[in-house]
A and B are shown apart, each in its own frame.
Chain A
Amino acid sequence: MERTPYGFLLVAAGGFLGAVARHAVDVGVGGVLAAASGSRLAPLAGVPTGVGTLVANVVGSFALGILLTRASSDRIRLLVGTGALSSFTTYSTFVADAVALGTPAGAWYVGVSYATGFAAAALGLAVGRGWRR
């Protein structure tokens, strides 16, 4: 399955959806932070870089943890796991955001992303295993 043209097609379809969803989260979070500038949330308005990527990475890591313990078919694993969730999350943009933030903000960003990302993945794996009982 995973080496067949159909398998590649599933990965491509999932990749399309995952990347578009990540972009939507990024644009959406940017919009929320911009709208916050005139409100009580004003302190958040100055936080530009990386928040959308962080949200996508943490949510996607949790979901992938569940999927990998739960996926019943290769088809689902290729479409949702290798395709959608792996493309929804990103390492390259995470590194670019960390570099753009500079020190010390970039180091904090890496630390928070790693801590929340690993916790989300471990939680997803645990939740997935729990459901299987």
Chain B
Amino acid sequence: MTATPLLAATLVGVGGALGAVSRHAVGLRVEGRRSVLLVNALGSFALGAVSAAPIGSTAALLFGVGFCGAFTTFSSFAVGTARAATERGPRAAATLAAATLAAALAAFLFGSLLAARVFG
């Protein structure tokens, strides 16, 4: 089944609302930049799994584009890194940027390998 544009937007929106609320809940429990790193790694793992799982376009829009897309955030990461550069120096900012990429990339690949093994 292919989603109509309106249905697609609704699925993405509902997934996005759930993703944002979940990210907010993590942010209330984990401090600042660490929580951004955590949601970006967890969400990348989930998107890796979603991208390798045999699901239809409806579920992909809801969970992948909507939920995982909104649960993870680039803007909070970029602002956090820019602030780290001015407050704690370029080395701290570079470490944060590299650690986020390494964690999210590893999590994404692990998620997709895991899903491919489970469903393959």
Contact = CB atoms under 8 A, between A and B. Distances in A.
Interface string B18-55: 11110111011000000000001001101110010000
B13 A16 contact: yes
Interface string B76-99: 111101110100000000000100
Given A61-B79, A120-B78, 8 more contacts: A8-B24, A15-B20, A22-B65, A89-B74, A92-B43, A92-B108, A96-B48, A113-B74
Interface residues of B, number: 51
Given A19-B65, A23-B8, A13 B17 contact: yes
Interface size class of A (residues with CB under 8 A): 35 or more
B44 A125 contact: no
A16 to B, nearest CB: 4
**Binding site of B, secondary structure by majority: helix, strand, loop or mixed?**
helix
12 contacts: A11-B24, A14-B20, A16-B17, A22-B16, A57-B74, A61-B78, A82-B23, A86-B75, A89-B76, A93-B65, A96-B51, A117-B78
B82 A95 contact: no
- Looking at A11, A19, A78, A92, the one whose CB has the most chain B CB atoms below 10 A away is A92
